[in-house]
Structure 1
Amino acid sequence: MRRHLIQKLLIIPFVLGFYGCASLLFYPDRTIRLTPDALGLNYEDVNLSTPDDIKLHGWFLSAQGQPRGTIFFLHGNAQNISTHIFSVAWLTEIGYQVFLLDYRGYGLSEGSPGLPEVLTDVAAGFNWLVTDSRVSTRPVFLLGQSLGANLAAYFAGANPAVRRQLSGIVLDAPFASYSDITREKLAQIPLTWLFQYPLSRLMPDEYSPIRNIADISPVSLVIICSETDDIVPASHSIKLFEAAGAPKALWITQGPHIATFGQEQNRQRLLFFLEAHVR
């Protein structure tokens, strides 16, 4: 009797936490651990505001030499742009400008993260980017990793005007739906195994990329997954790839979660994709 009571008491925080709580998807860090100049990069601090008056911060990294295009980079659910910069800093050497944005609550951005609010942040960042004179005459690509890949996919799929301004989209380690990934994580914990289905249904699945990834077509789409990713299984990328419209490609790699561009062969493959769409 006492054992059952303890189990019920322990599960209360999970029920309260998951009830409508998309904020559990986000693990922001406000500490800026380095700035791009520490990596020898030329950059500009970008400060902008959302329609709901949240001030956001990002970095615009200048390309070395004549810019070939621009990458709008959306990072994963933890830390901030000062740690995720390593995934994209190398692109500046090849002639690509990169815009990294911290969602609300991350780094120097105000507010607290949640869905759908962070999609408002993505839209504000995109609108700033495509109206900048350094960008407007060159190809623009959307690159997201993990949660950032989910945000990128849903944002592009839900906005025809955005798709018309994109030359390509790259999703690295996305998950098909918020409820699916929540259920899988709950199933790994003995305490929450029995509650994986009811609790996962409380996640905001209406913003999951599986719902509108088909609408990204005809923008060229690349989905990347690692067979050895122990955070987001490759099955999520395969499911999204099957639901997406052409033109599309699925790259199956090896290595840890979102460590993709630490490997030279993956960098070269991304560059080949970008160069094929530079016009």
Structure 2
Amino acid sequence: MAALAPVFRKAYWALIISVFLYITALIALTNPWLQRHVLYAHKVQMTWLQDINKPEQFGFAKNQITPFNFTTPDHETIYAWHVMPLGLYAKHESEILQQPSGFADDITQTKAFQLLRDDPDSRLIINFHGNAGTVAQGWRTDSYRALSDGSTSNIHILAIDYRGFGHSTGFPTEAGIITDGVAAVEWALQVVKIPSDRIVILGQSLGTAVTSAVVEHYAIKGVNFAGVVLVAGFTSLAELLPGYSIGGYLPVLSPLKSTPALLDLFSSQLVDKWPSAIRLANFVRLSKRVRLFLIHAKDDYEIPWSHAEGLFIAAANATTDEGMDLELLQKMKARNTVDMGDGSFISTWKSGNNKIIREQVVAYGHHSRVLTYATVSLAALKAFDLDDGGTLPV
């Protein structure tokens, strides 16, 4: 036993030091500047050795993607990609190859932009990515391919880097990123002149919070979109962090779960709240037409799929004037749920023919790879009424 004493002492002091470092880190994170650096991780990039102004490096056809900038109302410069559908590209390849490559100073002079603007059947997915990196990081480029390389040849993609990310100017805050998202939609509406009923707003992770805020903004103005797709979303930042681990390994506030007072104290220090469930409910309540898709993987190690349940309940409850008892709502949901095997399922909620909410939990896909799955592309096709009749199964 005496021989084990030094081992126990080392373990004891290692624990004490770990607790000290953890508490010190939490106190440091009450600083808004540092907190936002950790939350948005906008300086964490995996594309330093690649030129994102050359999308061919990521496997795209030459000039299939046009990098460009647009400006926000508060004078930030936002970097963006316009991804052309491969089928449409094939039809105009010879002309497109003759155009200058790389960053476009004036995107309106490109053939890709003109095909988007002038085709009365063109459709646009506005893509809001998660935290960290750029439009070209991780599974994001594969997701653009999955969305644009299908059988249709008229679905374009607009992907942006929020302020402070990649080549965009500024520093990220909740209000600022929402401004960026609204500015992206305004670019589509005012510059491209594409009507909102030919636009789908799609967000993943942090991008689901951006999407929820943006569609609420437009619902207040009476603007309806073809559809809204949220992949790996969360109900609010305060509800997410107690169970969230960075990369699935490094816990944030979960060690404080046993001490509710401390958990509440640190949660109250959040400078950006991202209350997506509230915003999504308001969007559903105010909109005349809703096609809302909530997609989550059961094996998501960063954001538990239970958040998709929370978003579904908030959205479904908003379709009724007085709200609904949770137990009754759950029973009604169960009657309209299809078991897909391996723990996956599809639940559909309909309020008349104008408001349809679909939650799909898939068995696999983790947090980001699920973006590349057929489930997400299918949701976009259904939102655009490009399925087998424009209706969703109940």
Give the equivalent residue in structure 2 for 1:42. 64
Give the equivalent residue in structure 1 for 2:26. 14
Q: Does the 8 Å CA contact 2:79/2:160 hold for their aligned counterparts?
A: yes
Q: Does the 8 Å CA contact 2:40/2:132 hold for their aligned counterparts?
A: yes
Instruction: Give the whole-Å Cα distance in 1 for the aligned partners of 2:73 and 2:376.
Output: 37
Give the equivalent residue in structure 1 for 2:374. 264
- Spell out the pairing of 1:183-202 with structure 2 (5 A cutoff): 183-185=242-244, 188=251, 192-193=255-256, 194=259, 195-202=262-269
Deviation at 1:269, TM superposition (A): 4.7
Give the TM-score normalised by structure 2: 0.63
Deviation at 1:43, TM superposition (A): 2.5
Q: Of the candidates 153, 160, 169, which is equivalent to residue 228 of structure 2?
A: 169
Instruction: Give the whole-Å Cα distance in 2 for the aligned partners of 1:143 and 1:22.
Output: 23
Residues 31-69 of structure 1: per-residue CA shift (max 9 Å, x gap): 355443341162222211222221111011123336531
* Structure 1 segments unaligned to the other structure (5+ residues): none
Residues 128-137 or 232-241, more deviating = 128-137
Give the equivalent residue in structure 1 for 2:10. none
Q: Does the 8 Å CA contact 2:209/2:275 hold for their aligned counterparts?
A: yes
Give the equivalent residue in structure 2 for 1:154. 213
- Spell out the pairing of 1:36-185 with structure 2 (5 A cutoff): 36-38=55-57, 39-40=60-61, 42-63=64-85, 64-65=87-88, 68-83=122-137, 84-93=140-149, 94=152, 95-133=154-192, 135-136=194-195, 139-160=198-219, 164-185=223-244
Q: Say yes or no: does 1:26 pair with 2:40.
A: yes
Deviation at 1:171, TM superposition (A): 0.4
Distance change >3 Å, CA 129–CA 269, structure 1 → 2: closer
Q: Does the 8 Å CA contact 2:68/2:81 hold for their aligned counterparts?
A: yes
Instruction: With a CA cutoff of 8 Å and minimum separation of 6, indicate the structure with the bigger relative contact order.
Output: 1
Q: Does the 8 Å CA contact 1:11/1:191 hold for their aligned counterparts?
A: no
Distance change >3 Å, CA 233–CA 23, structure 1 → 2: same
Q: Does the 8 Å CA contact 1:129/1:135 hold for their aligned counterparts?
A: yes
Instruction: Give the whole-Å Cα distance in 1 for the aligned partners of 2:282 and 2:165.
Output: 29
Question: Cα RMSD over matched residues?
Answer: 3.0
Give the equivalent residue in structure 1 for 2:114. none
Instruction: Give the whole-Å Cα distance in 1 for the aligned partners of 2:207 and 2:221.
Output: 16
Instruction: Give the whole-Å Cα distance in 2 for the aligned partners of 1:230 and 1:170.
Output: 20
Q: Does the 8 Å CA contact 2:127/2:159 hold for their aligned counterparts?
A: yes
Which consecutive segments of 4 or more residues in structure 1 shift more than 6 A? 2-6
Letter matched to residue 39 of structure 2: L
Instruction: Give the whole-Å Cα distance in 1 for the aligned partners of 2:66 and 2:221.
Output: 24
Residues 83-114 of structure 1: per-residue CA shift (max 9 Å, x gap): 22221233223331100000011111112222
* Structure 2 segments unaligned to the other structure (5+ residues): 1-12, 89-118, 320-354
Residue aligned with 2:165, SS: coil
Give the equivalent residue in structure 1 for 2:384. 274
Residues 102-111 or 154-163, more deviating = 154-163
Letter matched to residue 96 of structure 1: I
Deviation at 1:266, TM superposition (A): 4.6
Q: Does the 8 Å CA contact 2:298/2:305 hold for their aligned counterparts?
A: yes
The share of aligned pairs that are identical, in percent, is: 21
Q: Of the candidates 347, 350, 359, which is equivalent to residue 250 of structure 1?
A: 359
Aligned residues: 278
Deviation at 1:190, TM superposition (A): 8.9
Instruction: Give the whole-Å Cα distance in 2 for the aligned partners of 1:237 and 1:122.
Output: 22
Q: Say yes or no: does 1:208 pair with 2:275.
A: yes
Distance change >3 Å, CA 37–CA 275, structure 1 → 2: farther
Letter matched to residue 12 of structure 1: T
Q: Does the 8 Å CA contact 1:68/1:138 hold for their aligned counterparts?
A: no
Instruction: Give the whole-Å Cα distance in 2 for the aligned partners of 1:249 and 1:88.
Output: 22
